[in-house]
Chain A
């Protein structure tokens, strides 16, 4: 069935027609039914069609197509009437506007809208919209000012954060995670949903995200999905998103693309970012150069600890990796390393020069990935600097990227999803 994804508020009211008799309208979509609401992403089992003779139920298997005008095409006209004591969950009637409570039963917010999507081989409930854009859509603002709804940031809760529903007419919807973890759908969860979608739908979801969130989500996806999404997004938007990605992830992604496409993307980027990424892309994937990121924090030896901390706060480094600070001169020649621990423990007026570690392990950009991982393991370090022949800093390889490079792809795929989620909850 070529229905990909959408918000229920936008789907209800759509016309239903029978395959082969496309000129006659059977009715309009009134609701969707779920038979087993206990699943993580519950499967939609049927469509409630409001016909002239009242509400009728169409099994989801009967829906054969959604045509260009958004009309639902069914194989045969729905005939099953809905019994008043029907034991099923009706998405709009039973879930819209319901109270969401957290693990402690505290009220969080109400459900504004529900997103369903074709994923995991079925049409499923994937997320609850709890944001302003959902409210605007419900109020019909989309028809008057579609741009306003589009521009309003979306706030979604992935449906697997919701405790399995047992009641078919739940008084409230209980979450399984703490409220403060729910501010937004986490990129890895978003990625999990996206990777189950077809490329066109995934691109549509990514398009609706801001650049930063989209970049986070893309980082969590496999190379094939990344590529196809980028193609659907168009060069300009793709370049914007790649710029927001971590440098090493961005380089990996670019490295997989044909040179022509690379050049187009580089042309759309800020010149500074483009130069940096070009440098990274040039290296082979399985070398230190290919693994490294240029997002690291470097400092000058003559400053004091206090001044350095102040400087770091002032510039607010983009790098996520702040556990080691690399001491360099104006040429970027690597002079020493300072751990975050030293920075915190030493008195603020000590010059960096006096406390930095000068016996440094480093690798060349051509060092194979396994050897880099070996060095990191042997010296028990969290990251290893990559330098050229003149001992000038090129970047660093962090321990997680080193591990990623040496663990076989199969093992990574075997990691169950809940492990990822658990990690997120405990960090």
Chain B
């Protein structure tokens, strides 16, 4: 009954270290993917909104928070990826096998619910960004995107889908260009990034909470683990996969850095002393605000970035929902299958996309924002539980063998879990008591 720790893993890793540099690069490029994709998808429409707000309201001095946020992101992602590689099972499956039906059901309700609304939020991003290019064009673009992302996953195999996702991750680079176009004051940028400063007001605190909340979300834990498992990455390849994960988190927050920069250099600067400060409610507001301050090109580039993020995550989020339910129920799942081989998986994927897109077509933006708030409550309630589950699982010798958390890692992970857990609960409290 007690499983032997998987010890078959050490020798091949050593073998991998003996490979030539060239061979290692090739192997890395083969393994690369899940980490970068998941981290990039983390900068979804909601993420872009929050980063733009942060830059617009607090300017460069808020940049330093990206450092601890990146560490937290790495810790959580690495744990999920490692569990996927070592156990060969998705997170939902591990939760069901180790914590039983009731916990799985609880997690599923919160997760599926929040994912549906978050998917709607991604489609809302697609809609507002597309309206910047051409007013009211979203009545066409949203259905096209919905159908497009469905058939992409249904028709194309995992390899090609992954390359498309990697391409979408690369498009985030537009924010770097936008950042430079905004002509920031580099001296202040570095000061703000390297010297932590804390403001004592509530607005600042809530902003930090929002930043962490948008960066660490339940779906990414499920997605990265499922992607690692489906890609067939196993414990012996994990050393390289870990680089993918860490590199992905760094690149993602590099993009986030420039998102903050864009609005900090323009909107924040123009807001100082202004009688009519510009406020950002949705990501597209930031794009619009850029036009008079940094030119039409910056506006369109920013909007294009939102469009890309929306399309990208309108596929990733429904995918992670489908992975979750299938793993929990034990149904076949995976992008590589045909519809007939994994009918539940593809049906769920289609259903989440359809519901998300339909909500955007039917509801006005204000109502949608309320729904999205509600989804943040669900995911905020879920996250602390999820982090506890992940900590317990990744410390189980019977599951992880020699790959279980080290003491140092556990120290960082527990602190991360406690801080993130407390912060998300705080933000849930704030959203519940002050729904705006």
Stretch of A98-106, A307-315, A384-392, A411-419 on the interface side: A98-106
Tell me the residues in window 313-343 of chain B with beta carbons closer than 8 Å to chain A beta carbons.
326, 328-333, 341
Contact B102 A140 (CB under 8 A): yes
Contact A97 B97 (CB under 8 A): yes
Distance A139 CA – B93 CA, assembled complex (angstroms): 17
Distance A138 CA – B100 CA, assembled complex (angstroms): 9
Contact B330 A138 (CB under 8 A): no
Tell me the residues in window 269-317 of chain A with beta carbons closer than 8 Å to chain B beta carbons.
none
Stretch of A80-88, A238-246, A349-357, A401-409 on the interface side: A80-88
> What residues of chain A lie closer than 8 Å to B101, measured between beta carbons?
97, 112, 135, 138-139
Which of A93, A100, A139 makes the CB contact (< 8 A) with B330? A100
**A109 at the A/B interface (Cβ < 8 Å)?**
yes
Distance A168 CA – B329 CA, assembled complex (angstroms): 23
Distance A109 CA – B101 CA, assembled complex (angstroms): 13
**B206 at the A/B interface (Cβ < 8 Å)?**
no
Contact B1 A88 (CB under 8 A): yes
The answer to whether A107 and B330 touch (CB under 8 A), given A138-B100, A138-B102, A139-B102, is yes
**A36 at the A/B interface (Cβ < 8 Å)?**
no
Contact pattern, B 102-116, Cβ under 8 Å of A = 1, otherwise 0: 100100000000000
The answer to whether A109 and B330 touch (CB under 8 A), given A85-B2, A97-B101, A99-B93, is yes
- In the complex, the chain A residue whose C-beta lies closest to that of B96 is A97
Tell me the residues in window 269-321 of chain B with beta carbons closer than 8 Å to chain A beta carbons.
none
Contact A94 B333 (CB under 8 A): no
**B3 at the A/B interface (Cβ < 8 Å)?**
yes
Contact B332 A106 (CB under 8 A): yes
Distance A88 CA – B2 CA, assembled complex (angstroms): 10
> What residues of chain B lie closer than 8 Å to A94, measured between beta carbons?
1
Tell me the residues in window 1-16 of chain B with beta carbons closer than 8 Å to chain A beta carbons.
1-3
> What residues of chain A lie closer than 8 Å to B96, measured between beta carbons?
97, 110
Contact pattern, A 88-124, Cβ under 8 Å of B = 1, otherwise 0: 1110011011111000001111101000000000000
Tell me the residues in window 120-138 of chain A with beta carbons closer than 8 Å to chain B beta carbons.
135, 138
Distance A250 CA – B263 CA, assembled complex (angstroms): 81
Distance A307 CA – B326 CA, assembled complex (angstroms): 47
Which of B100, B332, B333, B341 makes the CB contact (< 8 A) with A97? B100
> What residues of chain B lie closer than 8 Å to A168, measured between beta carbons?
1
How far apart are A259's CB and chain B's nearest CB, in angstroms? 51
How far apart are A91's CB and chain B's nearest CB, in angstroms? 10
Contact B331 A107 (CB under 8 A): yes
Which of B97, B326, B328, B329 makes the CB contact (< 8 A) with A98? B97
Best-surrounded residue of B3, B96, B101, B329 (most CB of chain A within 10 A): B101
Which of B2, B97, B331, B341 makes the CB contact (< 8 A) with A109? B331
Distance A361 CA – B371 CA, assembled complex (angstroms): 74
Which of B2, B97, B102, B341 makes the CB contact (< 8 A) with A106? B341
**A169 at the A/B interface (Cβ < 8 Å)?**
yes
Contact A93 B93 (CB under 8 A): no
Best-surrounded residue of B97, B326, B328 (most CB of chain A within 10 A): B97
> What residues of chain B lie closer than 8 Å to A100, measured between beta carbons?
330
Distance A112 CA – B104 CA, assembled complex (angstroms): 12
- Chain B at the A interface: mostly helix, strand, loop or mixed? helix
- In the complex, the chain B residue whose C-beta lies closest to that of A86 is B1
For the complex, count residues of A whose C-beta is within 8 A of B: 25
The answer to whether A108 and B2 touch (CB under 8 A), given A97-B96, A138-B101, A138-B102, is no
Distance A93 CA – B100 CA, assembled complex (angstroms): 10
- In the complex, the chain A residue whose C-beta lies closest to that of B334 is A107
Contact A169 B3 (CB under 8 A): yes
How far apart are A93's CB and chain B's nearest CB, in angstroms? 6
> What residues of chain A lie closer than 8 Å to B93, measured between beta carbons?
99
How far apart are A370's CB and chain B's nearest CB, in angstroms? 50
Distance A168 CA – B102 CA, assembled complex (angstroms): 25
Contact B97 A89 (CB under 8 A): no
Distance A43 CA – B102 CA, assembled complex (angstroms): 29
- In the complex, the chain A residue whose C-beta lies closest to that of B95 is A97
Tell me the residues in window 376-415 of chain B with beta carbons closer than 8 Å to chain A beta carbons.
none
Distance A140 CA – B170 CA, assembled complex (angstroms): 48
Contact B1 A110 (CB under 8 A): no
How far apart are A346's CB and chain B's nearest CB, in angstroms? 36
Distance A169 CA – B333 CA, assembled complex (angstroms): 24
- In the complex, the chain A residue whose C-beta lies closest to that of B87 is A171
Contact B2 A110 (CB under 8 A): no
> What residues of chain B lie closer than 8 Å to A96, measured between beta carbons?
100
Contact A108 B330 (CB under 8 A): yes
The answer to whether A169 and B330 touch (CB under 8 A), given A99-B93, A139-B101, is no
- In the complex, the chain B residue whose C-beta lies closest to that of A113 is B101
How far apart are A356's CB and chain B's nearest CB, in angstroms? 42
Distance A100 CA – B330 CA, assembled complex (angstroms): 7
> What residues of chain B lie closer than 8 Å to A88, measured between beta carbons?
1
Contact A169 B100 (CB under 8 A): no
How far apart are B411's CB and chain A's nearest CB, in angstroms? 28
Best-surrounded residue of B2, B105, B326, B341 (most CB of chain A within 10 A): B2
How far apart are B177's CB and chain A's nearest CB, in angstroms? 44
- In the complex, the chain B residue whose C-beta lies closest to that of A112 is B101
Contact A93 B1 (CB under 8 A): yes
> What residues of chain B lie closer than 8 Å to A84, measured between beta carbons?
2
Distance A84 CA – B1 CA, assembled complex (angstroms): 8
Which of B1, B100, B102, B326 makes the CB contact (< 8 A) with A90? B1
Best-surrounded residue of A94, A99, A107, A138 (most CB of chain B within 10 A): A107
> What residues of chain A lie closer than 8 Å to B331, measured between beta carbons?
107-109
Distance A145 CA – B257 CA, assembled complex (angstroms): 53
Distance A221 CA – B332 CA, assembled complex (angstroms): 36
Distance A86 CA – B102 CA, assembled complex (angstroms): 28
> What residues of chain B lie closer than 8 Å to A108, measured between beta carbons?
330-332
> What residues of chain B lie closer than 8 Å to A106, measured between beta carbons?
332, 341
How far apart are B235's CB and chain A's nearest CB, in angstroms? 14
> What residues of chain A lie closer than 8 Å to B1, measured between beta carbons?
86, 88-90, 93-94, 168-169
Distance A310 CA – B2 CA, assembled complex (angstroms): 63
How far apart are A298's CB and chain B's nearest CB, in angstroms? 40
- In the complex, the chain B residue whose C-beta lies closest to that of A96 is B100
> What residues of chain A lie closer than 8 Å to B3, measured between beta carbons?
169
> What residues of chain A lie closer than 8 Å to B100, measured between beta carbons?
96-97, 138
Distance A94 CA – B326 CA, assembled complex (angstroms): 21
> What residues of chain B lie closer than 8 Å to A112, measured between beta carbons?
101
Distance A110 CA – B92 CA, assembled complex (angstroms): 12
6 A-B Cβ contacts within 8 A? A93-B1, A107-B331, A109-B331, A110-B328, A138-B102, A139-B101
18 further A-B pairs in the complex, CB-CB below 8 A; given A109-B330, A110-B329: A85-B2, A89-B1, A90-B1, A93-B1, A94-B1, A98-B97, A99-B93, A99-B330, A106-B341, A107-B326, A107-B330, A107-B332, A108-B332, A110-B96, A110-B328, A110-B330, A138-B101, A139-B102
The 8 A-B residue pairs with the shortest CB-CB distance, nearest first, are A110-B330, A138-B101, A107-B332, A109-B330, A97-B97, A97-B96, A169-B3, A99-B330
